[in-house]
Structure 1
Amino acid sequence: MIGKYLRERLSWILLVIALQLLLLSVAAIDRTIPFLPMLYIVFLSILLFAAFLLIRYSKETRFHQSLAAWEDTYDLNVIAAPESPFQSIVMDRLNEQTDKFRKETSQLVAQLEEEKDELMSWIHEVKTPLTAMRLMIDRMGDEPLKEQLRLEWLRIHLLLDRQLHQKRIPFIENDLYIEQVKLEPLLINEIRELRAWCLQKGIGFDVNLPVQEVLTDAKWLAFIVRQLLTNAVKYSSASDIVVGSGISPDGQAWLCVRDSGRGIEVKDLPRIFEKGFTSTKNHDDHAATGMGLYLAKKVADSLSIRMSVESTPGVGTTITLYFPRSNTYVHTLGM
């Protein structure tokens, strides 16, 4: 800050130095003016000016230092009071702009909340005819047509479900209930939902759960598992998807989903949890949205679940969820 202060006052410093040099020049030219006393006066003047700069530095830079340290918030109380008319002008403009941005932000938040509520209401309204469609499909006699309709129904259902949970994720802290969740019924329910899709692709499931329970939120864990199973089915063909559980060496319960699909390129692994990222190799895959793993990762982070991915192109992908121990939940969620 001292360097910036000296640059800000550079013109005044140069003016004072020029005036002192002028006095010395006059004393050197005019023999009637003693040079040594004048040199002494110039020396004292420069010392006094340097002391003046040093004293003024702390007072004149207090406002600017607090402004530089000001975080990106609407709280202007952390900024030091202005010490000069120019600083008062800056502070007044900051107050005006902050009030303006605060009002605009409030309006945008209210608008987003209204749009979110409308979308959530629309999704819930669509679920009613969708349920009726499922019942009508189940009563059909044409089995091939029934399976095709079930598959299309499932795709719509999964899209609506993902959209619904995506809108709820920003407020997930208000919707958490941590408990011991039984894995087997949760997995059976999610696999049953994907039955039509799995039958069409000839995919089966090999479920082995030595660890039957994990500490987490049942509803949001079901959402994560749904995204992992959906991805596994989407990118696999005529092979079993393996689902297993266990305990890691450090005592963490884990749940893994392993498929024998096309796998993920090594260069893509660091980016698979980014929003909208699909693949650098299969850009013509219009079925991929790049949202499933992104949303699953966001929910997992909120639940303090660590996600690990191992994949080999052409061999398959394994995604493992590592659940925190109870003391971790007490620390992170304040339970």
Structure 2
Amino acid sequence: MIRTYLWERKSWILFFTALHLLWIFVAYIDTAIPLQPILYMVFISLLFFIVFVFIRYQKETRFFKRLKEWDHNLNITGVDAPDTPFEEIVSDSLSEQANLLRKAASENRMLLEQEKDDLLSWIHEVKTPLTAMHLMIERLENQSLKAPLKYEWLRIHLLLDQQLHQKRMSFMENDLYIEKTDLETVIFQEIKTLQSWCIQKGIGFDIQLDITEVLSDAKWLSFMIRQLLTNAVKYSTTSDIIIKSDHQDHKVTLTIQDFGRGIDPKDLPRVFDKGFTSTIDHNDHASTGMGLYLTKRVSEPLLISIDVTSKRGEGTRVTLTFPQKNDFVQLTGV
């Protein structure tokens, strides 16, 4: 801070120095003025000036030191009252700006909440005609027309579902209900949802569930598995997707392995980043870069760890490791 203060007061210091040098110069060239008394006066003046600068440094920087330690929460009540008129101008200006920012932040927060509520309401409203559309598609007898319609319907359904859960994530902790969840029921339900898409692509499932019960929230776990299965089907051709559960280090693991295009090794550290799409086929407009990001977001409150391994052209394996009961003590209270 002292270096900053001296630099701020450099003009005063330069003026003081130049003035005293002028006195010495005048005494030097004018023989009528004795040089030694002038040097003595300059020396005494310099001592007083150093003491003066030290005192002013302590006084003038006190306010700015407190301001520098301000916690930046738009509340300057923790900053002590200013000592000088200029500090008072700064303090008043900061208070006014902080009030304006708090007001703007509050208004923006209300607008965002309103937009979120409107979007959630819209999604729920859209689900009604979407359900009716699905029933009409099921009544079609023309299979060559029915299959692509079901596929397009499924895409809309999955996108709406993804958007709905994404908007609910901000208050996900309030919605959690941790209980014993049957993996087989959850997985088969999600496979059934993707059935028409899998038939169209010639994709089957090899399911090996040695462990069928985990401790989790059934609704949010279903969403996670839905994102992983959607990715596996989307980026695979005719092949089987292997789903198996096991015990590792006293914890239940669920592995979903496909044999699709895979992920480039350099992309693996970024697969959970929002909006990141693979560099293998960067022009793939079907990729949104949201599936694994949302899966990761949901996994954190559920205490589920995710591991992704992949080789380009050989497929991708995603492993979910579920927590033990003791890990959920704070959430379940048991």
The answer to whether the superposition gives a TM-score over 0.5 is yes
- Tell me the matched-pair count: 333
Q: State the 1:308 CA deviation.
A: 1.4
| 2-structure distance, mates of 1:78, 1:328 | 39
Q: State the 1:313 CA deviation.
A: 0.6
Q: Is the 8 A contact 1:62 1:80 kept in 2?
A: no
Give the structure-2-normalised TM-score. 0.90
Partner of 1:97: 97
> SS where residue 177 of structure 1 aligns?
coil
* CA shift in 2, pair 1:208/1:58, >3 Å: farther
Q: State the superposition RMSD in angstroms.
A: 2.3
- Superposition pairs for residues 1-335 of structure 1, below 5 Å? 1-29=1-29, 35-249=35-249, 251-330=250-329
Q: State the 1:168 CA deviation.
A: 1.1
Q: State the 1:177 CA deviation.
A: 2.1
Greater mean deviation of Cα atoms: 154-163 or 289-298? 289-298
* CA shift in 2, pair 1:15/1:248, >3 Å: farther
| 1-structure distance, mates of 2:266, 2:101 | 41
Unpaired segments ≥5 residues, structure 1: none
Q: State the 1:70 CA deviation.
A: 3.1
Q: State the 1:306 CA deviation.
A: 2.3
Q: Is the 8 A contact 2:150 2:196 kept in 1?
A: yes
Give the structure-1-normalised TM-score. 0.90
**Which one-letter code corresponds to 1:141 in the other structure?**
E
| 1-structure distance, mates of 2:83, 2:106 | 32
| 1-structure distance, mates of 2:39, 2:133 | 101
| 2-structure distance, mates of 1:190, 1:38 | 95
Q: State the 1:65 CA deviation.
A: 2.5
* CA shift in 2, pair 1:121/1:248, >3 Å: same
Q: State the 1:263 CA deviation.
A: 0.4
* CA shift in 2, pair 1:54/1:247, >3 Å: farther
Q: State the 1:327 CA deviation.
A: 4.1
Q: State the 1:264 CA deviation.
A: 0.8
> SS where residue 83 of structure 2 aligns?
coil
Task: After superposition, give the CA deviation of every residue in 1:158-205 in whole Å (9 maximum; x if it has no partner).
Answer: 011011111111222222222332211111111111111111111111
Q: State the 1:32 CA deviation.
A: 6.0
* CA shift in 2, pair 1:201/1:64, >3 Å: same
**Which one-letter code corresponds to 2:75 in the other structure?**
D
